[in-house]
Amino acid sequence: MIDEKIEVAVAKYAGFCYGVKNAVDSTRNALEENDNVYSTDHIVHNQVINEEFEKNGMHFVDSIEDIPEGATIILRAHGVGKSTINECENKNLKIINTTCPNVLKIHEIVKKHSAEGYKIIIVGDKHHDEINGIIGWIDGEYEVVSTLEEVGQYKKICLVSQTTTNIDFWNEISEKIKSNAEECIVFNTICMATYNRQKEAKELAQEVDTFIVVGDLKSANSKRLYEISKEFCENTLFIQTESELELEMIRGKKVGITAGASTPDVVINKIIEKIKLGC
Ligand code: SF4
């Protein structure tokens, strides 16, 4: 709903999803309760959050080899492969696994179906951590497909998606993959939190003059939100913090705001405050 007085509409689904909230809460607790807490990755894709963890004692290291025996390791929300879990166990590390249940579900699907002889096709971004984690549970052939042009001819396949894929793109590409396969089992593994956020962004972007997507440059779901919103509102901006927002660009306009799943409330609130004070 548009707030007439200040002309800012904030999306209901802006900010942390339950998966990221769980990862952040688990990490905060681990840092309070343990001295030697390590991670080889950013727990979530947001610089503000990762700086907070670092300030509170988190050691970010390049590899498990750099972690002392018996220390605590936090595994990222986007999930890791089986070999990473094995490596942690071999080093007697205390594992706090913050992998989102939606991602764990994909690991189970690909593990089961690759063991049954299906080639796994994953629709998603080849370079994303979540994809690397999924690949780490496949015992057999697989392919990551990011564009319609990359769709090939298949025999016996099991099709899954990265959790943050745009639903319209998924509908299109999964149809094409299915029709090019002799046998195909399809699992739509886009998470509901992503689906709701994207749907709401589409609707809200059409109601405003300027639409702002708040997220980290490394956040895949934030970038996807930007792409989707831009289709419905030409004046869509992608910003990481309030310092990147130029008030001159939005003065006198109706503004809508949404944010990626890893964007903390504190960042969103600073942007809203800046708009309210500046307009
Ligand atoms: S976006 Fe979805 S899959 Fe990813 S952490 Fe959030 S709830 Fe889990």
Both tokens assigned to 78: 């986007």
Pairing of strands 154-161, 142-145: unpaired
Name the closest-CA residue to atom 6, ligand 1: 19
In the set 4, 130, 172, 246, the catalytic residue is: 130
Q: Calculate what percentage of the chain has a pLDDT beyond 90.
A: 85
Mind giving me the DSSP string for 99-142?
--HHHHHHHHHHHHHHHTTPEEEEES-TT-HHHHHHHTT--S-E
Please indicate whether residue 141 is annotated as part of the active site. Answer: no
DSSP 39: E
Mean pLDDT of the chain: 93
Q: How confident is the model at residue 279 (pLDDT cuts 50, 70, 90)?
A: low
Which pLDDT score, from 0 to 100, does residue 3 have? 45
Q: How far is the CA of 246 from the centre of ligand 1 (A)?
A: 30
Q: For residue 255, which phi and psi values (nearest 5 degrees)? A: -120, 135
Candidate from 13, 16, 20, 218 with most ligand 1 atoms within 8 A of CB, to mutate:
20
* Helix, strand or coil, per DSSP, at residue 242: helix
Q: How far is the CA of 66 from the centre of ligand 1 (A)?
A: 29
d(CA 159, CA 142): 10
Q: What is the mean pLDDT of residues 261-265?
A: 93
Which pLDDT score, from 0 to 100, does residue 219 have? 87
The tens digit of pLDDT for each residue in 147-202 reads: 999 999 999 999 999 998 999 999 999 999 999 999 999 999 999 998 999 999 99
Higher local confidence (pLDDT), 83 or 1:
83
Least trusted range by pLDDT, from 42-56, 110-124, 202-216 = 42-56
Query: Which residues have C-beta atoms less than 6 Å from ligand 1?
Result: 17-20, 77, 100, 102-103, 163-164, 191, 193-194, 221, 261
- Structural domains for the chain: 8-15+193-278 (3.40.1010.20), 19-99 (3.40.50.11270), 102-190 (3.40.1010.20)
Q: How confident is the model at residue 42 (pLDDT cuts 50, 70, 90)?
A: confident
The tens digit of pLDDT for each residue in 46-105 reads: 888 999 999 999 999 999 999 999 999 999 999 999 999 999 999 999 999 999 999 999
Q: Calculate what percentage of the chain has a pLDDT beyond 70.
A: 97
Q: Give the position of tokens 């944010």.
A: 259
Name the closest-CA residue to atom 8, ligand 1: 19
pTM of the full structure? 0.87
Higher local confidence (pLDDT), 151 or 35:
151
Strands (E), the chain: 8-10, 37-39, 59-60, 72-75, 94-97, 119-123, 142-145, 154-161, 181-186, 210-214, 236-239, 255-259
Name the closest-CA residue to atom 2, ligand 1: 191
Strands (E), 206-249: 210-214, 236-239
